[in-house]
């Protein structure tokens, strides 16, 4: 469960102080899916980073499973991430020197999972890339790369998955398939999903939506009446 | 082991290529230079033992104490006794005052004797090297003794009371020495056992005994013990003293090797710094991902630390092997120039090589990676191009610290390390400061130039950070190479006279005034030229400090036993330098004004003494000496002491007076001249016509010096080439630093339809501009470092090197430009998509 309490984010720039996030409140229950929507530059990625403990708010607090991560030190937050959190990024962020299989296996190896490679292979099968395990990222298309990234994120069995515009770099057709895969895996694994997107249709598939505008919450995180599509 | 796995994957992915190559190269260069330097150094040391025919010699006017010999035998120290003296030899009506040396059977302990069956042999095929002297009953003699006594090989001659067979021509003895007195008269080598039969050594005869010592387990402790047994009659001669004439050559040769090796160390450091920078940039994404997955900063660091240790160990071991192979290759290439068999090296070069690898990684690679985990992963992951924000100052400091440690360890010489580091720091600092300014100017004024220039100069400005890093790399490498080339050139220039074929190799001494024309005629007849005539008077010392000399110097001294040469000059002779006191200047009145006045007796003649002889006679400034010249006595007071230059074979005088004190005494004349081997019989002609002449033959010594100097020179050349190659590799590393980004941009320009000319033109202008600026700044740093080195390490005069300021930018621009264009050719020869995909 994620609990966000009045967070704001302010940065100092050469043109003076800039308020990126302004007094955000929300809570996400286990197993829920939350969409954060808004125009480009509205502060979505910044908010996601803070929720995941990769960044700190200027004020306010965030707790994950009852633990206040804003009060922890870097090491503490890292430990929380190691136990609970997975990521998918807009620009995939696969390591170019590793094969698809090794990319998926790396976080498992870090956790000391015994049969990291076998687990990784299993997840690659699940995203439909069984035939491409030995390929390097540069030999894969954008959609395939993002599928590897999905496999990597789910292979660690996170309780919360943060996805920042996972289909932003892909064409509509491919993007749609990635989204289907994301929601399917999420369903199977029972993960809590926080998804940043600027597509209303995608947001509609989540149980709730939070809309940002210029760093402000437009209204309290709504329960999505449209329900979880499909 | 996860670290090993990660390292292997990085290697496979090609990210380790540059850093690994730099590491192997660094270790290989340092190892090969260190191995070579140490082996050459050891060879030089053993070569100088050859000059003594031993590792240590005890010289005395008395025979060696039997107890010393016994103790030496017990300790396993090899010994050989020799004794030298002058003795008349006869055959029929002919006679000659020969310079005889009797040797024990162990002689020579080091080096070899060269003998022949053909008088005046010069062909190597006619000359035989042996490590033993004549058997009892036999004599080995100088070629010129044969015509002097009108004999042939195999004839018997009389020496003292005995008659001995002349069995071999003596071409060269290792310890022929460079002291003039030992070179009078033709050399005869005889066996020690024949001394009694010849009965030449009588109580009171002037002889010099030498006890030669070499190796054995107990050598060092034996020498320590022996030194305590010695009285003032004995003098210890070390290999260094045995060869004053080449000692400074050797010493500078060693220092140069050290300099070259140190420059290799710094170049290796630069290469690794550049490669580490490259490697660290490639690791930013991985570190950010690791952190986003919750890996703690300390775990990330430990993972990288393990990788570095692995990388360092593997790379250094391979580097050691490559370095060893490389030094073998170098040795085999120059084998013919290195006639001396090189001794094997000790452990130090290996340790140095390994330490270079580990310390450079610790100084450059570790700091480059260390701060990565501290970076916000969000900042990396949210942007598409990884950011590069390093704490350059801390890193620079750590890197410099690592190199400084290495330099001091390697060279054991703080001045050397300091000169190189300061020179480099000056270059680097000005590269950053001036470079920024120049880049800015280039960008501002580039607008007025063609499109290629405009694009290139604004690219440089846009990429100013990597551009500056590259510039530090280029200018550092160029500066170091300049330092080496300048020092090498000035050393070789200085040695040129030693390598000259016609430097004087004979001295003719004690020519009376009435003999002068005849001697000149004989020299003219053979179409030889002298290096000018010097006048002097022969005199004896009769009092020291108003006392009989025996009371002052208990044991007596060579210069007290025989006539010495006194000469006069107004100006301090070239190559001499005042150690203590003052040289007479024009204000010191010459004696001529007061010659006939009453005050003459109280008017002491000023005299300048060679510093060592002053010490041996126990004299200091202000002490009085009474000289006797042709029965007339006069007193002199020491006004200065001088050190002489033994490097050049011009006449040196131990006792010098101002003009006007000695001129009325009967004088003799001396000269030096070059006598080629085929005119060697001139010496016989001279001695036959003028038996009182003394001819000092230095031709063999000079040949030896020439050989050694040319060996040292070759060694330096070899080293210079090696380091030059290393420098070019560093520049290569610097060029490849920005290549990925450049290729990407070029490929994009290519997709937009840009011509080959534009793309390569831009690269050419960018790189040659960088190289040009780097060359200019390198000249600054090099000039500074060379000034320091010449002043403090090579004791040379400071001179400007204007050519540096011209050649530096020119070579820098060309070299870097060519390297850069060669590297970026891929961008125009391959389809753009292939280029982009391969990155
Ligand atoms: N460190 C920072 N310094 C200055 N401005 C920032 C910083 N981080 C984010 N911003 C600005 O804050 C705004 C919100 O950014 P972001 O969260 O990336 O928006 P979104 O993801 O919704 O497009 C943008 O205008 C961005 O330029
Ligand atoms: Mg965003």
Which has the higher per-residue pLDDT, A12 or B321?
B321
Spell out a b/e string for B620-647, using b for 16 or more CB atoms within 10 Å of the CB, else e: eeebbbbbebeeeebbbebbbbbebbeb
Question: Mean pLDDT, to the nearest integer, of B275-283?
Answer: 83
Residue A99 distance to chain B (closest CA, Å): 9
How many contacts (CB atoms, under 8 Å) link A and B? 69
List the residue whose alpha carbon is closest to atom 21 of ligand 1: A45
* Chain A CB contacts of B381 below 8 Å: 54, 87, 89, 93
Question: Mean pLDDT, to the nearest integer, of A103-112?
Answer: 89
Give dist(CA B435, CA A165) in Å, integer. Answer: 42
Q: Sorting pLDDT into bands at 50, 70 and 90, what band is A223?
A: low
pLDDT of residue B498: 61
pLDDT of residue B339: 52
Question: Is A38 a pocket residue for ligand 1 (Cβ < 6 Å)?
Answer: yes
Would you say residue B183 has pLDDT above 60? no
pLDDT of residue B598: 39
Which has the higher per-residue pLDDT, B684 or A71?
A71
Q: Sorting pLDDT into bands at 50, 70 and 90, what band is B181?
A: very low
Share of chain A above pLDDT 70, in %: 95
Question: Is A41 a pocket residue for ligand 1 (Cβ < 6 Å)?
Answer: yes
For ligand 2, the distance from its centroid to the CA atom of residue B533, given in whole angstroms, is: 95
**DSSP per residue, B588-608:** SPPGGGTTTSGGGGG-PEEEE
* Residue in B9, B297, B377 nearest the CB of A98: B9
For ligand 2, the distance from its centroid to the CA atom of residue A50, given in whole angstroms, is: 13
pLDDT tens for B463-504 read 777 788 888 888 888 888 888 888 888 877 777 666 667 778
Q: Sorting pLDDT into bands at 50, 70 and 90, what band is B177?
A: low
pLDDT of residue A228: 42
Average pLDDT over chain B, rounded to whole? 81
Which domains, and CATH codes, for chain A?
27-54+86-223 (3.40.50.300)
pLDDT of residue B244: 61
Residue A95 distance to chain B (closest CA, Å): 7
Range with the lowest mean pLDDT among A159-163, B168-172, B366-370, B827-831? B827-831
Average pLDDT over chain A, rounded to whole? 87
For ligand 1, the distance from its centroid to the CA atom of residue A61, given in whole angstroms, is: 20
The strand pairing partners of B96, in sequence order, are B89
Which has the higher per-residue pLDDT, B167 or A229?
B167
Ligand nearest to the CA of B378: 1
Q: Which of A80, A82, A97 is the best residue to mutate to test the B interface, defined by the most B CB atoms within 10 Å of its own CB?
A: A97
pLDDT of residue B600: 42
* Residue in A82, A83, A85 nearest the CB of B295: A82
Cβ neighbours of residue B567 under 8 Å, at least 6 residues apart?
A: B534, B535, B536, B537, B653, B655, B656, B657, B662
Residue A226 distance to chain B (closest CA, Å): 31
* Chain B CB contacts of A87 below 8 Å: 292-293, 381
- Among A63-67, B373-377, B559-563, top mean pLDDT goes to A63-67
Give dist(CA B619, CA B545) in Å, integer. Answer: 8
pLDDT of residue B29: 81
Would you say residue B182 has pLDDT above 60? no
Contact across the interface for A78 and B381, Cβ inside 8 Å? no
Question: Mean pLDDT, to the nearest integer, of A24-44?
Answer: 90
pLDDT of residue B93: 86
pLDDT of residue B168: 93
Burial of B605 (0-12, 13-18, 19+ CB in 10 A): buried
**Cα B666 to chain centroid, rounded:** 44
Ligand 1 atom closest to A46 (CA): 17
Range with the lowest mean pLDDT among A72-81, B17-26, B631-640, B642-651? B642-651
**Cα B198 to chain centroid, rounded:** 46
Question: Is A9 a pocket residue for ligand 1 (Cβ < 6 Å)?
Answer: no
Within 275-304 of B, beta carbons closer than 8 Å to A belong to 285-286, 288-298
Q: Sorting pLDDT into bands at 50, 70 and 90, what band is A100?
A: very high
Residue with tokens 């300021």: B805
Q: Which of A83, A110, A111 is the best residue to mutate to test the B interface, defined by the most B CB atoms within 10 Å of its own CB?
A: A110
Would you say residue B775 has pLDDT above 50? yes
The strand pairing partners of A87, in sequence order, are A162
Contact across the interface for B293 and A95, Cβ inside 8 Å? no
∠ CA B694-B707-B253, rounded to 5°: 110
pLDDT tens for B748-773 read 777 777 788 888 888 888 889 889 98
Please tell me if residue B327 touches chain A, with a CB cutoff of 8 Å: no
- Among B207-211, B314-318, B724-728, B768-772, top mean pLDDT goes to B314-318
∠ CA B66-B72-B73, rounded to 5°: 95
Contact across the interface for A138 and B837, Cβ inside 8 Å? yes
List the residue whose alpha carbon is closest to atom 2 of ligand 1: A11
Which has the higher per-residue pLDDT, B204 or A38?
A38
Range with the lowest mean pLDDT among A12-16, B256-260, B477-481? B256-260
List the residue whose alpha carbon is closest to atom 5 of ligand 1: A11
Question: Is A45 a pocket residue for ligand 1 (Cβ < 6 Å)?
Answer: yes
Spell out a b/e string for B18-27, using b for 16 or more CB atoms within 10 Å of the CB, else e: bbbbbbbbbb
Select from A8, A9, A18, A198 the residue to mutate for testing ligand 1; criterion: most ligand atoms less than 8 Å from CB.
A18
Environment of ion ligand 2 (residues, CB < 5 A): A 45
For ligand 1, the distance from its centroid to the CA atom of residue A210, given in whole angstroms, is: 17
Ligand 1 atom closest to A196 (CA): 21
Question: Mean pLDDT, to the nearest integer, of B129-155?
Answer: 90
Would you say residue B384 has pLDDT above 60? no
Question: Mean pLDDT, to the nearest integer, of A174-188?
Answer: 89
Burial of A86 (0-12, 13-18, 19+ CB in 10 A): buried
Please tell me if residue B255 touches chain A, with a CB cutoff of 8 Å: no
List the residue whose alpha carbon is closest to atom 1 of ligand 1: A11
∠ CA A117-A121-A123, rounded to 5°: 120
pLDDT of residue B212: 92
Reported ipTM: the value is: 0.87
- Model pTM? 0.69
pLDDT of residue B319: 92
Contact across the interface for B376 and A52, Cβ inside 8 Å? no
Question: Is A17 a pocket residue for ligand 1 (Cβ < 6 Å)?
Answer: no
Would you say residue B448 has pLDDT above 80? no
Q: Sorting pLDDT into bands at 50, 70 and 90, what band is B99?
A: confident
Would you say residue B335 has pLDDT above 70? no
Residue B360 distance to chain A (closest CA, Å): 25
Question: Is A184 a pocket residue for ligand 1 (Cβ < 6 Å)?
Answer: no
pLDDT of residue B601: 43
Question: Is A44 a pocket residue for ligand 1 (Cβ < 6 Å)?
Answer: yes
Burial of B317 (0-12, 13-18, 19+ CB in 10 A): middle
Contact status, residue B323 vs residue B32, Cβ threshold 8 Å: yes
Share of chain B above pLDDT 90, in %: 13
* Residue in B2, B15, B381 nearest the CB of A89: B381
Question: Mean pLDDT, to the nearest integer, of B531-550?
Answer: 84
**DSSP per residue, B743-784:** HHHHHHHHHTT--HHHHHHHHHHHHHHHHHHHHHHHHHHHHH
Q: Sorting pLDDT into bands at 50, 70 and 90, what band is B438?
A: confident
Which has the higher per-residue pLDDT, B330 or B436?
B436
Q: Sorting pLDDT into bands at 50, 70 and 90, what band is B589?
A: low
Please tell me if residue B377 touches chain A, with a CB cutoff of 8 Å: yes
Q: Sorting pLDDT into bands at 50, 70 and 90, what band is A230?
A: very low
Contact across the interface for B296 and A80, Cβ inside 8 Å? no
pLDDT of residue A55: 84
pLDDT of residue B334: 63
Ligand nearest to the CA of A164: 2
Question: Is A18 a pocket residue for ligand 1 (Cβ < 6 Å)?
Answer: yes
Would you say residue A8 has pLDDT above 90? yes
Share of chain B above pLDDT 70, in %: 88
Question: Is A197 a pocket residue for ligand 1 (Cβ < 6 Å)?
Answer: no
Would you say residue A121 has pLDDT above 90? yes
Please tell me if residue A156 touches chain B, with a CB cutoff of 8 Å: yes
∠ CA B14-B18-B20, rounded to 5°: 90
Alpha helices (H) in chain A, listed in sequence order = 44-51, 74-84, 100-111, 116-126, 142-155, 172-189, 200-204
Question: Mean pLDDT, to the nearest integer, of B435-460?
Answer: 75
Ligand 1 atom closest to A198 (CA): 22
Please tell me if residue A12 touches chain B, with a CB cutoff of 8 Å: no
pLDDT of residue B555: 63
pLDDT of residue B718: 73
* Chain A CB contacts of B13 below 8 Å: 95-98
pLDDT tens for B189-243 read 999 999 888 888 876 667 888 999 988 778 888 888 988 888 877 888 887 666 6
List the residue whose alpha carbon is closest to atom 17 of ligand 1: A43
- Among B376-390, B490-504, B544-558, top mean pLDDT goes to B544-558
* Residue in A89, A95, A164 nearest the CB of B286: A95
Would you say residue B616 has pLDDT above 60? yes
Contact across the interface for B293 and A97, Cβ inside 8 Å? no
Residue A55 distance to chain B (closest CA, Å): 7
Q: Sorting pLDDT into bands at 50, 70 and 90, what band is B321?
A: very high
Ligand nearest to the CA of A43: 1
The strand pairing partners of B157, in sequence order, are B164
Please tell me if residue B526 touches chain A, with a CB cutoff of 8 Å: no
Residue of chain A nearest B293, judged by CA positions: A82
pLDDT of residue B390: 54
């Amino acid at each position: 469960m994620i609990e966000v309490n009045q967070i704001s984010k302010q940065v100092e720039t050469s043109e003076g102080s800039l308020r990126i996030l302004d007094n955000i409140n929300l809570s996400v229950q286990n197993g829920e899916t939350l969409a954060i929507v808004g125009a480009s530059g509205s502060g979505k990625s910044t908010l996601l980073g803070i929720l995941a403990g990769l960044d700190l708010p200027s004020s306010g607090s965030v707790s994950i499973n009852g633990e206040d991560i804003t009060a922890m030190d870097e090491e503490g937050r890292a430990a929380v991430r190691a136990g609970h959190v997975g990521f998918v990024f807009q620009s995939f962020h696969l390591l170019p020197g590793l094969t698809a299989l090794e990319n998926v296996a790396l976080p498992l190896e870090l956790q000391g999972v015994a049969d990291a490679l076998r687990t990784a292979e299993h997840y690659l099968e699940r995203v439909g890339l069984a035939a491409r395990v030995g390929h390097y990222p540069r030999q894969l298309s954008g959609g395939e790369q993002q599928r590897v990234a999905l496999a990597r994120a789910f292979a660690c069995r996170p309780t919360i998955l943060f996805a920042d515009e996972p289909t932003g770099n892909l064409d509509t057709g491919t993007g749609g398939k990635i989204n289907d895969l994301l929601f399917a895996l999420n369903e199977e694994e029972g993960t809590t999903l926080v998804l940043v997107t600027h597509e209303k249709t995608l947001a509609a598939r989540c149980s709730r939506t939070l809309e940002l505008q210029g760093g402000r919450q437009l209204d309290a995180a709504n329960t999505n009446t449209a329900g979880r599509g499909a | 082991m996860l670290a090993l796995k990660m390292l292997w994957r990085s290697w496979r992915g090609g990210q380790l290529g540059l850093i690994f190559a730099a590491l192997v190269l660094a270790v290989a260069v340092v190892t090969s230079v260190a191995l070579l330097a140490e082996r050459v150094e050891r060879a030089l040391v053993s070569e100088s033992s050859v000059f003594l025919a031993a590792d240590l010699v005890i010289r005395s006017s008395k025979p060696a104490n039997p107890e010393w010999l016994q103790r030496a035998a017990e300790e396993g120290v090899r010994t050989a006794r020799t004794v030298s003296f002058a003795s008349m030899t006869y055959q029929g009506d002919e006679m000659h005052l020969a310079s005889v040396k009797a040797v024990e059977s162990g002689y020579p302990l080091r080096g070899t004797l060269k003998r022949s069956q053909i008088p005046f042999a010069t062909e190597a095929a006619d000359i035989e090297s042996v490590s033993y002297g004549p058997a009892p009953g036999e004599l080995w003699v100088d070629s010129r003794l044969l015509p002097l006594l009108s004999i042939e090989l195999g004839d018997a001659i009389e020496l003292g009371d005995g008659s001995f067979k002349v069995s071999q021509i003596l071409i060269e003895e290792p310890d022929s020495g460079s002291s003039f007195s030992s070179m009078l008269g033709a050399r005869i080598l005889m066996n020690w056992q024949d001394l009694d039969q010849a009965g030449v050594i009588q109580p009171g005869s002037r002889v010099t005994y030498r006890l030669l010592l070499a190796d054995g387990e107990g050598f060092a402790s034996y020498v320590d013990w022996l030194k305590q047994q010695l009285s003032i009659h004995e003098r210890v001669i070390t290999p260094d003293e045995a060869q004053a004439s080449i000692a400074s050559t050797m010493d500078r040769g060693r220092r140069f090797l050290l300099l070259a090796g140190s420059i290799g160390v710094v170049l290796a450091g630069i290469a690794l710094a550049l490669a580490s920078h490259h490697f660290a940039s490639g690791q930013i994404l991985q570190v950010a991902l690791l952190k986003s997955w919750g890996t703690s900063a300390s775990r990330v660091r430990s993972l990288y630390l393990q990788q570095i240790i692995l990388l360092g160990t593997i790379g250094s071991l391979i580097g050691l092997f490559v370095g060893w192979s490389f030094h073998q290759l170098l040795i085999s290439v120059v084998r013919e120039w290195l006639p001396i068999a090189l001794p094997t090296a000790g452990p130090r070069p290996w340790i140095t090589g390994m330490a270079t690898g580990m310390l450079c990684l610790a100084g450059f690679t570790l700091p480059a990676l260390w701060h990565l985990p501290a970076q916000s992963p969000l900042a990396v992951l949210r942007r598409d191009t990884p950011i590069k924000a390093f704490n350059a100052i801390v890193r620079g400091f750590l890197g410099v610290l690592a190199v400084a440690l290495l330099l001091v360890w390697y060279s054991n010489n703080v001045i050397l390390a300091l000169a190189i580091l300061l020179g480099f720091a000056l270059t680097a600092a000005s590269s950053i400061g001036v470079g920024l300014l120049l880049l800015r100017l280039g960008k501002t004024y580039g607008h007025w130039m063609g499109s290629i220039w405009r694009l290139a100069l604004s690219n440089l400005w846009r990429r100013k950070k990597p551009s500056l890093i590259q510039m530090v790399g280029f200018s550092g490498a160029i500066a170091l190479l300049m330092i080496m080339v300048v020092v090498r050139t000035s050393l070789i220039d200085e040695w040129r006279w030693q390598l000259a074929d016609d430097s004087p190799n004979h001295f003719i001494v004690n020519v009376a005034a009435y003999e002068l024309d005849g001697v000149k005629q004989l020299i003219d007849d053979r179409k030889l030229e002298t290096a000018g005539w010097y006048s002097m008077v022969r005199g004896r010392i009769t009092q020291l400090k108003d006392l009989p000399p025996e009371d002052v110097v208990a044991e007596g001294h060579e210069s007290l036993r025989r006539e010495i040469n006194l000469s006069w000059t107004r100006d301090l002779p070239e190559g001499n330098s005042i150690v203590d006191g003052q040289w007479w200047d024009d204000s010191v009145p010459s004696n001529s004004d007061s010659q006939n006045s009453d005050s003459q007796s109280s008017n002491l003649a000023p005299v300048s003494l060679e510093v060592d002889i002053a010490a041996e006679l126990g004299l200091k400034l202000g002490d009085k000496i009474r000289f006797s010249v042709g029965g007339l006595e006069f007193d002199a007071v020491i006004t200065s002491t001088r050190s002489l230059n033994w490097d050049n074979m011009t006449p040196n005088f131990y006792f010098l007076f101002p003009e006007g004190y000695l001129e009325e005494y009967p004088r003799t004349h001396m000269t030096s001249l070059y006598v080629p081997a085929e005119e060697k019989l001139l010496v016989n002609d001279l001695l036959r016509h003028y038996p009182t002449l003394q001819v000092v033959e230095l031709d063999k010594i000079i040949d030896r010096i020439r050989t050694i100097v040319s060996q040292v020179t070759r060694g330096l050349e070899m080293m210079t080439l090696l380091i030059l190659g290393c420098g070019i590799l560093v520049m290569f590393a610097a060029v490849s630093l920005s290549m990925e980004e450049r290729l990407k941009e070029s490929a994009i320009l290519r997709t937009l339809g840009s011509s080959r000319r534009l793309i390569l033109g831009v690269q050419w202008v960018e790189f040659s501009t960088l190289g040009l600026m780097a060359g200019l700044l390198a000249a600054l740093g090099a000039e500074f470092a060379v000034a320091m080195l010449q002043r403090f390490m090579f004791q040379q005069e400071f001179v400007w090197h204007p050519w540096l300021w011209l050649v530096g930018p020119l070579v820098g621009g060309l070299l870097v430009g060519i390297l850069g264009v060669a590297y970026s050719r891929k961008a125009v020869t391959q389809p753009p998509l292939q280029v982009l995909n391969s990155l």
